[in-house]
Structure formats: structure tokens, C-alpha cells
Amino acid sequence: MLDPRSRERALRTLAWSALPFAALLALGPAHAQEAAAAAEAAKPVVDKGDVAWMLTSTLLVLLMTVPGLALFYGGLVRSKNVLSVLMQVLAVFSLLVLLWVVYGYSLAFNGGNAFIGNLDKLFLKGVNKESLAATFSAGVSLPEYVFIAFQSTFAGITGALIVGAFAERIKFSAVLLFSALWFTFAYLPIAHMVWYGPDGFLFAKGAIDFAGGTVVHINAGVAGLVGAYFVGKRVGYGREAIKPHNVTFTMIGASLLWVGWFGFNAGSNLEATAGAALAFLNTLLATAAAALAWSLVEKVIKGKPSMLGGASGVVAGLVAITPACGTVGPFGAIAIGAIAGAVCVWGVHGLKRLLRADDALDVFGVHGLGGIIGALLTGVFSSPSLGGFGLGAGNDTIAAQVGVQALGIGITVVWSGVVSVIAFALVKLVVGLRVPEEAEREGLDITTHGETAYEN
């Protein structure tokens, strides 16, 4: 007969193990029932509402990319290149979603060390309908398939963002090869460091990146800037007028990005709770503030607020609130959006000239700079003294949190920059980067894809 203390210890052990029921009977019928009940209570809860919300969020992130991002970018290029940009966004997204399930998920979210995971879940080994993924609440889980699908869309859109920087002059094969290399050696390590629970290097330091300021936007922005340098300026850049061919497309694309971003940000809460509601509200408010701030700056500087500026302000606000949406209060979100909207006007004009890069669709000026602004301000407005909901683990002051945020920014900029340089150099060596000048002048739609968007 077990003494009470030994019996309690045995019950606790059995409740958390997968021993056969015969082992429970060794404790006696009454205690076996008690242990079985404890084991049942210890099972993670999967809530149907959470599952429904996360599947919806995954669809919303897909909407952000195809057609949202595709139309946003497509409207910004000249009519002879619109299909090429649409195709690049579609193909890169599709490629990275497939690579995600082959090895990306395992390297980003499974074991390994503080900087990269392992290949134990290569080809989703061991994943089935019964396997679960943790959420932010103890004892609450999601079907692992749901988490895999949701995160695959993040990987896909991040790679697709980059193509805007070197639009209208790059080889299609070069886009695909670079995307695969960059995804493997830049996206996956940063995602692991930032999001892989307490074992990720930046997560362990208390860095806050709720939905991808560093992982997605700074990461992609830096890669785009490097690509703009490597591929070179468009023919006629700085000498000829290179104007968006359809600002209406761009407005529709920006609107779809805003709608889809609720899945991106609020979905990153992983549960249909008040945390998702906070991220949802912050995404709404920051974006509205950024759109108005951008338009106001344009009115002051140029005398007229443009539709293109308003749409760009929407994207700048969405980018900036992404890392902060789950930890700042509503008025902190408004401040972040307004600051980002105003500063990113300079990013696509003044900074672009300083960098002397033909970042065709302002990937760095909006996503890179906007992501940096949002990441730093996350460290400020997450403070309870400013209406936020808490700083990262181990950071007791705003200064300490901002320091950790800056560390995350620095690591992302350097790592993504180095990987991008090496990847573009390899791609240039293997397949070349740029289409011939004659093909560029004629347009990539007809020379690369054999079709035109508009019949004469």
C-alpha cells in the first residue's frame, strides 16, 4: 500500500505519461480512476473557435498576397510589366509555401539551438491530425496542421515583398532561385530566433515582435535593397518619367492588404481571445493614422495629397504596427502609425536618393524603414506607463526594451544583408540577374511570359 505522499507523486507522474492503463490499476481502482481523471484534465484543450479563427486568418494572409500585394505592386509598374510582377508574386509565394512544408517548418519551429531548428520534421515527419502546436495560453493548443498552414503564408508573403525592389528588369529564373536561397538562409534563422519560444535567441532576450516586424518587414526590406543594388537601375531611370500605370490597382491592392492584415496581426495571437481583439483594433487605428499622416505631409510639402501617397501610408502603418499590435494600447498604436506614416514619406523620397538605389516599388523605404520604426517604438509604447501591456521578459525599463529591440533590428539587418549579398552573387553566377536591355525596353510581360495585360 502506497503512503499518501508516494501515491500523490505516482499519480502526478502517471497523469503526465502515456503508461498503459494496467499500470494505473497497480495503485488500486479508486486511485486508478483518480489518475485517469488527472490525465484527462492534463490534456491540452483544442477549442473549435480558435481553430476556425486561425483558418480564417490564414485565408486573410493569402488574400494579402494574392491578390492584395500583387495588385498593389502591379499598379505601380508600367503597363508593359504588370503581368511580370503579378506572376513573380504568385510564383514566389507558391514556391515558398511548398519549401515551408518540405523543410522550412522544421528548421524554424522544431528543436535545434538558439539560432536554427533541426530537420526532425523534414517533409512534416510525425505530423498528423492528432499532433498539436502550443499557443500563448498554458494548456491550450491548435492542431499542428493549422499552425503550419498559418506560418506558411508568412513565409510566402515575405519572399513576395522583396520582388518589388527590382521589378521591371530581373530574370524570372533569378527571382525564383534567389527566393529559395534567401528563404533558407535568411528567413528561417530569423524566424527561429524571434519566434521559437524561450529557446530562440532574440525571444530569450525579451525582444517583442508580435507578428513580424523583424522577421518579415525588415528582413524583406534589406533583401530588396541589396537586390536593387545588384540588379542595377532600370533603363532610363533618372532620365525618363517612370510612372505607375494604374493607381486604381494600387488603391485596391492597398485596401486588400489592410483587410488581410487583420489575419496577419490578430491571427498571430493564435487564439480567438481579447489578445486578438487588441491586435485587431491596433491594426485598424495605426493604419488610419498613418494614411492621414502621409497625406498631411504630402499636402504640406507638395501642396496636394495624392491617392498613391494615401495608399502608401496605409502600408506604412500596417508595417509599423505589426511588431507592436499585441502589446501596445490603442493610443500607442495611433502614435506608431502617425510617426511611421510621416517618416516613410522621407523614406521613399529623401532616403531613396541618399541610398542611390533604384528600389522600384520602395520595399526598403516602406517595409524596411517602417519595420525599423515599428520595432523601436514597440519598445516604447509596450510600457504600461504609456498604456501598453508589458515589456519583454527580463526588461524592466523602456530603455532596456528599446535596446533589445535595436539588437533584433541589427541582427536582422546584418544577417539578411549578408545572406542577400551571397545569394544574389550566386544567382548572378548561375543564371544571371538581368534581362537584356532590348527585352527590358519591350517589357517583361511579352519577353518573359509571352502575353500582354492590355490589347491595343
pLDDT digits (tens, 9 = 90+) for 85-104: 999 999 999 999 999 999 99
CATH class of 49-449: mainly alpha
pTM of the model: 0.90
Residue 352, Cα to own-chain centre: how many angstroms? 23
Which 3-state string (H, E, C) describes 221-235?
HHHHHHHHHHHCCCC
pLDDT recorded at residue 455: 83
Under-70 pLDDT residues of the chain: 1-42, 456
Label the pairing between strands 132-134 and 140-143: antiparallel
Rounded to 10 deg, the angle between the 219-231 and 398-430 helix axes is 40
* Nine-digit cell string for 132: 498539436
DSSP code at position 382: T
Distance CA 348, CA 329 (A): 28
Neighbours of 304 (CB within 10 A): 9
Least Cα distance to 60 among 150, 189, 138, 123 occurs for 150
Residue 368 · residue 217 · CB < 8 Å: yes
Radius of gyration of the chain (CA): 24
Query: 130 Cβ partners below 8 Å, 6+ apart?
Result: none
Q: Are 73 and 166 in contact (CB under 8 A)?
A: no
Q: Report the candidate in 190, 178, 295, 281 with the shortest Cα–Cα distance to residue 231.
A: 178
Q: How far from 338 is each of 289, 290, 327, CA to CA, in Å?
A: 5, 5, 18
Whole-angstrom Cα distance, residue 238 to residue 273?
Answer: 50
How far apart are the C-alpha atoms of 223 and 220, rounded to whole Å?
Answer: 5
CA 250 to chain centre: 21
pLDDT at 29: 55
The sheet with strand 132-134 has its strands ordered as 45-46, 140-143, 132-134
Residues paired with 114 in a beta bridge: none
Give the DSSP H or E segment for 191.
Answer: helix 188-195
Nearest by Cα to 272 from 105, 371, 379, 146: 146
Q: Which ranges of 47-131 would DSSP assign to H, the alpha helix?
A: 48-63, 70-76, 82-99, 105-109
User: For residue 274, which amino acid is it?
Assistant: A
Q: Tell me the three cell numbers of residue 388.
A: 501598453
Q: What is the pLDDT of residue 28?
A: 54
Among residues 21, 159, 173, 178, the alpha carbon closest in space to that of 94 is found at: 159
The pLDDT score that the predictor gives to residue 1 is 38
Spell out the domain ranges in the chain: 4-42, 49-449
Cα 448 to the chain's mean position, in Å?
A: 29
Type of residue numbered 113 = N
Question: Which has the closest alpha carbon to 291: 340, 361, 330?
Answer: 340
Q: Quick one: cell of 405?
A: 529591440
**519577353: which residue's cell?**
447
- Nearest-angstrom CA–CA distance, 79 and 244: 8
SS3 196: coil
Write the pLDDT tens digit of every residue in 431-453.
999 999 999 999 999 999 999 99
**The predicted structure's pLDDT at residue 456:** 67
